[in-house]
Each structure stands twice: as C-alpha cells, then as structure tokens.
C-alpha cells in the first residue's frame, strides 16, 4: 500500500472541558474524494481547523505527503499545499473577485518591492497572466463569472460567492482541498449545480484530493468515493456511501432513525 | 520608609484607585453589553463635575448656604443628567453603528468626547481656565505619626467603595442586573427570552455614566479643582484599567483601577527618577502588560471562532 | 477602454484655482463665497454625473494627471510668492498629507490602528531638532532620519500590537501617545515644556530660511523653498503609497485588515505585513514631522497631544479610510478652513469632531471613498 496523502493519527482537541476531537484517525489517499459527515458538534469543522492550524492539538500527529504538519502555523500549513473554504463564507467582500483569487495565489506571487513598486512593466505583465488564469478557472464554474472578474465580491449572488471561494482555494492547485459545507445557504438546485462544476474540475485534475463536509446526503452520495462518519469527535463508521448509509449504528446516531 | 509616610502613600493610592475604578467599571459595562469602547466616558466624568459645579454656583448665588443641601443637589443633578447623557450617546451614536466596524464606534465616541470637552471649554463661563471646586465636606483631619487622614478624603473613599458595592449588588441581585448580564453573555438568546435589548443597553449606559458623574464629583471634591480637559487623562486611565483587568469583567476593572493607581504611586515615590515620570511609568507598564497578557489579567473571552 | 484626460484635468484646474483663491482670500465674505462656490461645484458635479466621468478619466490617465497636479502646485506657489502665510498653509497641507498617507496606510489599508500619530510626528520633529543642531548631517538626510527614528521607536510597540486585537491595540497606541507627550514635558534634555529650536533647512548651501531676493524691491517668501521641499516629499510619498496599494503588497495589506483568518489560511504572514505597514507608515509620519519642524523652527510638547493625534485621524477618516486621493480635500478642510474662517477658528476642534461624527454616521466612506483596486497602468480589462 502506498503512503496516503493525508495521514492524521490520534487527533485530540479540547475546548475547556469539552473534547471536540477524541483520538481521531483519518487518512486520505491521493486523488480521493472523502465525504465527512456527522451530527452538529461532532467535530467535523474542528477537524479542518486542527488540520489547517487554527486550533491547537492536545495530542496526535498529522502528515501531509510524508511531511509533518502538526502544530505549524496556518500560513506554514498553507505552504504545504492545503487550501480550504469556510463554513461561514470568508470572501473579502469589499475587494474585487480578482483580488480574492489572488489571495489564493499569495504564496506564488512575487511580493518583492522591486517588481511591485519600481519596475511596473513586469508587474503588469504578471497581472495580465494571472487575470487570464483566473478567468479560465472561473469559466469552469460558470460562463458568466469571468466577465465579473473586476467587480466587488459583494455584488455577487450567494452561489457565485461560493464558486469564487472554491476557485480561490483551487487556483494554486493545492494537493489537498478542504470544503466546509459548500451547500450552506444555497437552494438544492444551486447545490446540485455547484457539485456538477466541482466534479468537472475534479475530472480535469485527477491528482486533486478533496475532503468535503456536508449535511446534504445527496451531495455526499454524488461526489464522494468514501465516506467517514464522525460522532463525538470519534470515527463512527467509514466506507462507501451506500454501506455507511445502511449501517444501523450510523442510522441511529445521525440519520435520525431508530 | 517611615511607616506613617508609607500609610499616607497607600491611602492616597487607594483614593485614586477608587476614582479610577469608578471610571473603569463604566468602560467594562459598556463593553460587556455591546462589545464597544465608549471613549467619551472620561469627558462624561468631566461634564458631571462641571454640572455639579454649576449647580453649586447657582445655589450658593441663590442664597442656599447649607453645605449638605448643596452637595446633595450637586450629586443628584450630576448623576441624573449624566445618566441621561450616557443613554443619549448610546442611542444616537453607539447603537446606530452596531453593524459597523468596532473601530468606528471608538472613533465616533472619541469625537463625541471632543465635542463635550470643547463645549465646556467654549461655553462654560471662562471654561478654558481651571475652576475651583467648592469644599463642602467637613475639613478636619486626624494625625497618626506622619500619617494625616483628612476626614473629607475618608468620606470620599467610603462613598466610592459604597458605589462600587452598589453596582455589584445591582448586577447580581436585581432583575436589571440579570438582564444586563444576560445581554452581555448573548444578546440573541437574551432577546429570545424576552429581555428588551435596547432598553437594557440604554440602562447600562445610564448606570455607567451615573458612576462617571459620581467619579467626577469625587474627583472635584478631592482635588478642589476641575478643568475641562481632566477627562482625557482620566478616560485613558479608566480605559487602561478596564483593559488590564480584561474588558467585560467588572471585577477586573476594579482591580485594574487600583493597580493603575498603585503604579502611579510607585512611579512617584518608589522609583529612582523624578515623580513627574509617574504617568510615563504607569502607561509603559500598561503596554508591557498588554504584550504579556493580550486580553488582560482576568480575560474572559476566548479566541475568535473560525 | 480609453478615456479622455480632459475631464480629470478640468476638475483639477478648477479645484486648484479654488484652493488658490481660498489661500489668498483676505476678506471673510470672500472666504465664505469660495466655500459656497465649492459646495455648488460639488452639487453640480453630482447632479450632472460628472464625478464618475472625472474618476474614470483620472484613473485612465493617472500619470498625466499626477504631473499636471504637480505643475499646478508649482504654479500656485509661484502666484503666492510674496504671501508668507498662504505659502505656510500650502506647505502645512502638503506635509499633513504626507503624515496622512502614512496613517492611511496603517489604519485604512493594513488595519493597524494608530492613535498616536502626533507622537510619531513629534518623534520625527524632535529627531530633526537634535540631528540638525548636534550633527553635521546634510539636512535632506536629517529629514529621512526623522522618519527612520519614528519607525525605530515605533518598533518598540510592535510586539504588543501584534499580540493584541481591536480595542486593546487602540489602547496601546493611546497609552503610547500620552506617555510620549508626558515624557517630553518632564525631560530636560529635550527642552522640557519649552521645547527646542530647530535650525532651518539648508540644501547645497542655500538656507531655506533666507528670503529670496530677486532685485532691490522684490523679495520672495522663504516659504517658497519649503513649498518646493514639501511638494517633493508629498509627491514621492503619494506615488509610493499609490503604487504600494496597487500591488500584491497592497492586496496583502487589505487581506490582513479585512480577515486575518482567511489571510493566514492562504499563507499570508499576518505579523510581518502588519509590521511592514506600521513601520512604513511611521516613517512617513516622521518625515512629515521632521520637515514641519525645520519649517516652523521650533518643537514643543504641546504640538503633539492626543488631540493632535485625533486631528490626524480626522483627516484620514474625512478623506475616506485608505483613500490617498481623499487626503487632499481632507487636509485642506482641516488645515486651511479654521485659519481662514476667523469665526470658526476658536471652534475648530468642536466643528471637526462634529464633522467626523456626521461622516461616520451618514457617509462612512469619507469624502472620496477608496475605489476598488485597479492594478493596471494600461492593462486590458
């Protein structure tokens, strides 16, 4: 067996007296799409936050492509190739769509004073190149979006904002993409549309690895190769969607059946 | 150091501490209910002192000679009008900016403070000069070695402590206090439980500003002089005290008030440089404390949610 | 899309003539008439939708407009060559803009609050006083030293600034401002409450404080030389801040201001960018302070109070947080109006405070709100 892209072992996170992650083991193979489900408060978002360095691990280790990312600052983890979206959208609404995408490119762009301040010719050429790349990526999600590249993100509809947030995470070609409930605040139709786009992008980039948190079971069924169910910060079940959905333990804990 | 002299410094420090604590409690109460800093608070202290002064000048001019009567009228007028001013500032400037960046509230109240300060300077008769504040408390003193206890200071200290205890009782024993704590904890849940949000906020600002008025009068009686710009430093000190204690924590603010006074006293008497550096020393320590404990000594709030 | 340079140029010339008239007006009725005319012009511009056209024309021809503005300032200074006071005001406006550019970079772009602007201005001023009297440093370098010292002393605050957020950060700068002013008052080495004398600026042997003699009868104001110096500083600072804003660096500043969490999730080193913005901003404020001190000839603690810091903040808010262009009208309003309208001179702090309150309540974007970032100088859209 090859080493997994993401290998998390024994993750423990505590908030005061509450144990949000309780010795979670989770590994994801390169190119895989894993659906992460579980009731509210079962530790899904905490898992993302722990992986990306926003909450401190009390115990456990996380490795990405063989290198240890445990306890690093968020920006260092980003440099290892993890990109994410947020459950509560975190676009920079007062900036343009382009600016938001360029935040996703932060680690790639040249911030040196020389090109930024003095030799603007090189900088302008770079802007042009980046704008082309951004348009191409946006077009994969919605044909109307590229034309709105220089509009403020605030002017976009909810679904377009979600699209831009996902593009911001995708633009740097991350090794691992973490999607935190992309359907939140959208209609089922919009969600289905977004998933179609996502699957199309995934088809173009077979190496892209995705972990997606979702409440919408239809989404999970459609996009995930494998499904992990969390409950009380622990792994309750794991396997293909059909098997997991049929598991009586899961049905009791999560799907609300007894 | 001579024990009498030491006692003297300690008492002077405690006296300052009570004034600072009264101001700091206001800052922390406002932050508790609305997560805002109302920087005009120091100028409300000053306006309270000037209101009291105007009342005393009016009454004395009108022939009232009984000191207790004048003092009572001054206190009532200052406290009532500042409670109103506080509620008005909250209604007109702070609540409308609830959804704006928090720094805008700080800015707008800084400017409101400037308006109050300049208003007094320009429109109070000879407002730009320091004003003598009437000595209305009994003047005697008791001596104990090198320690002189002025009776008026002792009374002021007791009044200040009583006011702080009073606030504590209001917060813990009354329905209003319960409402204030509930709103501070979680405004949405509080309104879902039927606690009127706006009314509670306005009441909180009224209480905080009433305390500021009391602090202003106590300050005036203690120094026998007030000036239009006393609120700037007092506001900055009260803010510092509330922040050192941990914003939102009433006991932290009281602790912070006494700590700041202690720092100033130490800076003035116990350190090897001129006493004029006491504020430099005290504010420098505040900055260092903030670097070590960025959310104050008794921090309550946890990190922002991602 | 190409856009003609003329709308922006016309607006620029009209504004320059208005400002010149205001600076030279001596009668109160003239001052009031100019203010009314300015209000009417703004109303008309809005009524006929000129603003958008002017903005677009300016954005598409930024380099030409920038040069034209410099030429106009030189022209205006020349017209005022025999009027000391008008030139002093012009210089003050330009130096306040330099300080405002520093502050708007910190406050409006990177979101690092600074309520001690007057203190950093003061550090620059005192550094200039000390370096110009105690050393033989060329005066152009003295001015840079003022900026350097402001940034250096500001770095003491870096650790507490990085560790705290929001109100706590605001308190640190307020405490520092009060501490600084108190320190100046009680410190004998720096002249105490009386302050220090600062020698005038000397460049290549020319003493700026000497009047410029043209012939037997005509003498030009020595402020003319300072106007040149101030213009040089403000033009450099403006071009620098604008380029910074329209670069990846400016984007990083914005990301740090708007959402530290999102920024760090994409690899932004929040602390480093905050330090950069704070230091660059303090440098600019210090440079302004140093030049101002050399122009006015003395420094004293009373010029660097918390109230003065608030005035600087008012300029930034009035113009529009983060907006470099907005600083021009804002600095004019805050510096010139109270000097020109004797009726309000006494009430100026009161009126500015009220003005800022109104701005925050009804137009939080300021007079000329900052526009969306426009990277291109000629890039296709």
Q: Which region among B45-49, B148-152, C199-203 has the lowest average model confidence (pLDDT)?
A: C199-203
Domain locations in chain C?
84-325
- DSSP class of residue A118 equals I
Is residue C330 pLDDT above 70, yes or no? yes
- pLDDT for residue B82 is more than 90: yes
Confidence category of residue C380, pLDDT binned at 50, 70, 90: very low
The whole-number pLDDT of residue A218 equals 86
Task: Give the pLDDT confidence score for residue B83 in this predicted structure.
Answer: 96
Q: Name which of B31, B97, B284 is nearest C179 (Cβ-Cβ).
A: B284
DSSP symbol at A238: E
Q: What pLDDT score does A180 carry?
A: 94
Residue B306 in this model has a pLDDT that exceeds 60:
no
Share of chain C above pLDDT 90, in %: 47
Rounded (5°) CA angle B107-B108-B114: 90
pLDDT at B102: 76
Tell me which residue in C258, C263, C267 faces A94 most closely, judged by beta carbons: C258
Q: Which residues of B touch A15 (CB under 8 A)?
A: 302
Is A95–C248 a contact, with Cβ atoms under 8 angstroms apart? no
Q: What's chain B's average pLDDT?
A: 89
List the single residue in B with minimal CA-CA distance to C182: B280
Listed residue (B174, B207, B198) closest to B80, CA to CA: B207
CB contact under 8 A, C157 and B102: no
**Chain A from 46 to 65: CB within 8 A of any B CB:** 49, 54-55
Least CA distance to A53: which residue of chain B? B306
Residue A84 DSSP SS3 = strand
Ranges A51-60, A111-120, C207-216: which has the least confidence: C207-216
C258 and chain B in contact, CB less than 8 A: no
pLDDT exceeds 80 at position C245:
yes
Give the rounded distance of the alpha carbon of C137 from its chain centre: 25
Apex C207 CA angle, C203 and C213, nearest 5: 120
Distance of CA A134 to the CA centre of its chain: 18
Q: Tell me: the pLDDT tens digits for C115-149?
A: 999 999 999 999 999 999 888 888 889 999 999 99
Q: How far apart are the first and last CA of chain A?
A: 38
Distance from CA of A56 to the nearest CA of B (A): 12
Q: What is the DSSP string of C281-305?
A: HHHHHHHHHHHHHHHHSEE-GGGSS
Average pLDDT over residues B184-190: 86
Which has the closest alpha carbon to B298: B38, B306, B166, B289?
B289
The pLDDT of A167-172, averaged and rounded, is 94
pLDDT, tens digit (0-9, with 9 covering 90-100), for C263-288:
999 999 999 999 999 999 999 999 99
The pLDDT assigned to B303 comes to 41
B271 or A13, which is more confident? A13
- Looking at residue A254, its pLDDT comes to 67
Beta bridge partners of A59: A12
Percent over 70 (pLDDT), chain A: 97
Question: Residue C51's pLDDT band (boundaries 50, 70, 90)?
Answer: confident
Please, what is the average pLDDT of chain C?
Answer: 88
Q: Does A42 touch chain B (CB under 8 A)?
A: no
Domain-by-domain residue ranges, chain B?
3-134+147-304
- Do the Cβ atoms of C247 and A110 come within 8 Å? no
Domain B3-134+147-304 in CATH 3.40.50? The answer is no
C375 vs A108, residue with greater confidence: A108
State pLDDT tens for residues A197-206: 999 989 989 8
Highest mean pLDDT among A248-252, B295-299, C280-284: C280-284
Q: In what order do the strands lie in the sheet with A6-15?
A: A18-28, A6-15, A59-64, A67-68
By CA distance, what is C187's nearest residue in B?
B277
The answer to whether residue C194 scores a pLDDT higher than 70 is: yes
Please tell me what DSSP assigns to residue A105: T
CA angle C28, C11, C8 (to 5 degrees): 160
**Is the confidence at residue C291, as pLDDT, over 80?**
yes
Residues B254, B14 contacting (CB under 8 angstroms): no
Q: Are B42 and B233 in contact (CB under 8 A)?
A: yes
C178 CB within 8 Å of a chain B CB: yes
Reported residue count of chain B is 306
Task: Report the residue of chain B nearest C174, measured CA to CA.
Answer: B236
The residues that bridge with A164 in the sheet, in sequence order, are: none
CB contact under 8 A, A124 and C375: yes
d(CA A132, CA A129) in angstroms, rounded, equals 5
Query: Given CA atoms C197, C203, C205, C207 in this order, what sign does their dihedral have?
Result: negative
C-alpha–C-alpha distance, residues A215 and A217, integer Å: 6
B177-181, B243-247, C186-190, C218-222 — which is least confidently predicted? C218-222
Termini Cα distance of chain C: 8
Residue of B24, B31, B88, B107 to mutate, interface with C, max C Cβ within 10 Å: B107
Mean pLDDT value across residues C76-95:
91
CB atoms B236 and C174 under 8 Å? yes
Residues C6-48 have pLDDT tens digits of: 888 998 999 999 999 888 888 888 888 998 998 898 888 888 8
List of chain A residues whose C-beta atoms are within 8 Å of the C-beta of residue B299: none
Q: Which tokens belong to B32? A: 């508790």
Kindly give the residue spans of alpha helices, DSSP state H, lying in C135-269: 139-154, 158-163, 166-186, 223-245, 248-258, 260-265
Is residue A3 exposed (0-12), middle (13-18) or buried (19+ Cβ within 10 Å)? Answer: exposed
- Pairing assessment for the beta strands A176-180 and A209-213 based on DSSP bridges: parallel
Q: What pLDDT sits at residue A60?
A: 93
Summarize the confidence of residues A107-119 as an average pLDDT.
90
pTM: 0.91
| Residue B39 CB contacts under 8 Å (≥ 6 apart), including other chains | B106, B109, B110, B113, B235, B239
Confidence of residue C326 (pLDDT cuts 50, 70, 90): very high
DSSP string, A25-40: EEEE-TT-EEEEE-ST
Q: Is the sign of the CA dihedral C38, C44, C47, C48 positive or negative?
A: negative
pLDDT of residue A61: 94
Q: Are C287 and C98 in contact (CB under 8 A)?
A: yes
Nearest Cα residue to C151 out of C258, C287, C37, C267: C287
Cα gap A177→A68, rounded to integer Å:
17
Q: Is the pLDDT of residue C378 over 60?
A: no
- Mean pLDDT, range A213-240, rounded to an integer: 90
A86 touches chain B (CB under 8 A): yes
What does the pLDDT read at residue C229?
92
The complex scores an ipTM of 0.92
When pLDDT is cut at 50, 70 and 90, the band that residue A255 belongs to is: low
> For the residues A24-49, what does the mean pLDDT come to?
92
Among the partner residues B31, B97, B291, nearest to C360 by beta-carbon distance? B97
Kind plus residue range of the DSSP H or E element containing A235: strand A234-239
Query: C2 falls in which pLDDT band (50, 70, 90)?
Result: low
Average pLDDT taken over every residue of chain A: 91
In this complex, is the C-beta atom of C358 within 8 Å of any C-beta atom belonging to chain B?
A: no
Asked if C314's CB is within 8 angstroms of B236's CB, the reply is: no
Distance from CA of B276 to the nearest CA of C (A): 6
With pLDDT > 70 as the criterion, what percentage of chain C qualifies?
A: 98
Structure tokens at C209: 């404080």
């Amino acid at each position: 067996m090859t080493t997994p892209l993401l290998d998390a072992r024994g993750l423990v996170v505590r908030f005061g007296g509450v144990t949000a992650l309780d010795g979670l083991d989770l590994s994801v193979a390169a190119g895989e799409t894993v659906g992460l489900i579980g009731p509210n408060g079962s530790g899904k978002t905490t898992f993302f936050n722990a992986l990306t360095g926003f909450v401190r691990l009390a115990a456990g280790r996380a490795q990405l492509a063989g290198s240890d990312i445990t306890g690093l600052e968020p920006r260092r983890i980003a440099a290892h190739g993890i990109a994410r979206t947020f459950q509560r959208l975190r676009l920079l609404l007062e900036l343009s769509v382009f600016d938001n995408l360029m935040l996703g490119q932060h680690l790639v762009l040249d911030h040196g004073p020389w090109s930024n301040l003095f030799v603007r010719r090189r900088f302008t050429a770079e802007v042009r190149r980046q704008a082309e790349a951004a348009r191409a990526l946006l077009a994969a999600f919605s044909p109307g979006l590229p034309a709105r590249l220089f509009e403020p993100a605030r002017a976009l509809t909810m679904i377009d904002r979600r699209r831009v947030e996902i593009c911001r995470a995708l633009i740097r070609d991350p090794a691992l993409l973490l999607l935190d409930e992309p359907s939140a605040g959208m209609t089922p139709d919009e969600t289905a549309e977004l998933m179609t786009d996502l699957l199309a992008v995934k088809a173009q980039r077979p190496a892209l690895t995705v972990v997606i948190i979702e409440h919408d079971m239809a989404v999970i069924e459609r996009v995930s190769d494998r499904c992990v169910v969390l409950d009380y910060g622990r792994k309750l079940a794991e396997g293909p969607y059909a098997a997991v959905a049929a598991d009586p333990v899961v049905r009791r804990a999560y799907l609300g059946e007894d | 150091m001579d024990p009498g002299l030491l006692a003297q410094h300690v008492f002077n420090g405690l006296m300052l501490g009570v004034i600072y604590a009264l101001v700091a409690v206001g800052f922390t109460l406002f932050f508790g209910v609305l997560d805002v800093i109302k920087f005009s608070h120091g100028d409300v202290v000053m306006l309270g002192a000037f209101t009291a002064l105007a009342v005393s000048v009016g009454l004395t001019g009108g022939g009232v000679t009984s000191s207790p009567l004048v003092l009572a009228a001054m206190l009532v007028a200052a406290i009532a009008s500042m409670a109103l001013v506080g509620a008005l500032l909250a209604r007109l400037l702070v609540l409308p900016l609830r959804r704006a960046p928090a720094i805008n509230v700080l800015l707008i109240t800084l400017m409101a403070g400037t308006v109050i300060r300049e208003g007094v300077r320009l429109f109070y008769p000879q407002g730009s000069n320091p004003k003598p504040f009437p000595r209305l408390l009994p003047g005697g003193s008791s001596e104990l070695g090198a320690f002189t206890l002025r009776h008026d200071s002792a009374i002021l200290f007791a009044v200040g402590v009583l006011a702080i205890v009073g606030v504590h009782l209001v917060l813990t024993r009354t329905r209003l206090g319960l409402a204030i704590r509930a709103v501070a904890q979680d405004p949405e849940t509080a309104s879902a439980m039927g606690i009127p949000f706006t009314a509670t906020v306005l009441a909180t600002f009224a209480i905080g500003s009433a305390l500021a008025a009391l602090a202003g009068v106590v300050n005036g009686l203690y120094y026998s002089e007030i000036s239009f710009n006393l609120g700037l430093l007092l506001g900055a000190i009260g803010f510092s005290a509330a922040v050192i204690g941990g914003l939102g924590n009433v006991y932290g603010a009281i602790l912070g008030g006494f700590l700041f006074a202690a720092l100033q006293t130490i800076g003035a008497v116990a350190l090897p440089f001129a006493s004029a550096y006491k504020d430099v020393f005290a504010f420098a320590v505040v900055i260092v404390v903030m670097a070590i404990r960025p959310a104050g000594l008794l921090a309550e709030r946890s990190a922002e949610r991602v | 899309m190409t856009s003609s340079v003329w709308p922006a140029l016309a607006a620029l010339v009209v504004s320059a003539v208005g400002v010149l008239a205001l600076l030279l007006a001596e009668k109160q009725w003239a001052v009031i008439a100019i203010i009314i005319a300015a209000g009417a012009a703004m109303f008309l511009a809005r009524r006929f939708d000129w603003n958008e056209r002017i903005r677009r024309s300016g954005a598409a021809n930024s380099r030409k407009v920038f040069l034209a503005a410099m030429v106009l300032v030189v022209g205006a200074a020349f017209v005022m060559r025999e009027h000391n006071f008008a030139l002093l005001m012009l210089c003050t406006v330009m130096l306040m803009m330099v300080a405002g550019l520093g502050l708007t970079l910190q406050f409006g772009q990177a979101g690092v609050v600074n309520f001690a602007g007057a203190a950093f201005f003061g550090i620059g001023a005192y550094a200039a006083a000390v370096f110009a009297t105690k050393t033989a440093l060329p005066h152009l370098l003295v001015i840079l030293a003022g900026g350097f010292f402001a940034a250096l002393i500001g770095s003491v605050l870096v650790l507490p600034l990085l560790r705290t957020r929001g109100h706590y950060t605001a308190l640190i700068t307020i405490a520092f401002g009060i501490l600084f002013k108190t320190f100046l008052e009680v410190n004998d080495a720096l002249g105490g409450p009386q302050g220090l004398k600062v020698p005038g600026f000397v460049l290549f042997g020319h003493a700026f404080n000497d009047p410029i003699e043209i012939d037997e009868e005509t003498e030009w104001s020595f402020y003319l030389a300072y106007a040149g110096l101030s213009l040089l500083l403000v033009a450099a600072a403006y071009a620098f801040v604008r380029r910074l804003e329209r670069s990846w660096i400016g984007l990083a500043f914005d990301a740090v201001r708007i959402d530290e969490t999102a920024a760090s999730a994409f690899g932004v080193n929040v602390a480093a960018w905050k330090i950069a913005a704070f230091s660059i901003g303090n440098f600019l404020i210090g440079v302004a302070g140093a030049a101002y001190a050399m122009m006015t000839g003395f420094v004293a603690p009373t010029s660097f109070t918390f109230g003065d810091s608030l005035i600087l903040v008012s300029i930034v808010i009035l113009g529009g947080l983060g907006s470099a262009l907005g600083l021009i009208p804002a600095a004019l309003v805050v510096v010139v109006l109270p000097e020109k309208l004797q009726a309000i001179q006494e009430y100026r702090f009161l009126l500015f405070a009220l003005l800022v309150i109104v701005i925050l309540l009804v137009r939080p974007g300021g007079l000329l709100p900052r526009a969306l970032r426009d990277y291109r100088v000629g890039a296709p859209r």
